[in-house]
Amino acid sequence: MPYIQIDMLEGRSHKQIKKIVKDITEVMVQDANAKAEAVHIVVRESKTDHIAAAGILKSEM
């Protein structure tokens, strides 16, 4: 059972996330011979003031 975790900054619409998980599922079915019902995807969105790079919050970049 493929278990996929996606961490990204907030800001995508429900429609965009729906397409992302659909497309990733299709790739796993085609390229990894997984059954669609066995592909589990967790999408975690973080606020830009909760993620930093080089010591700078993304909200301040």
DSSP 16-34: HHHHHHHHHHHHHHHHH--
Asked if 8 contacts 46 with a C-beta cutoff of 8 angstroms, the reply is yes
Instruction: Give how many domains the chain has, as a whole number.
Output: 1
Distance linking the first and last C-alpha atoms of the chain = 38
Instruction: Just list the catalytic residues.
Output: 2
Note the pLDDT tens digit of each residue in 22-59. Answer: 999 999 999 999 999 999 999 999 999 999 999 999 99
Domain that holds residue 29: 3-60
The residue with tokens 């079915």 is 29
CATH number at residue 36: 3.30.429.10
The mean predicted confidence, pLDDT, of the chain is: 97
Cα distance between residue 47 and residue 61, in whole Å? 13
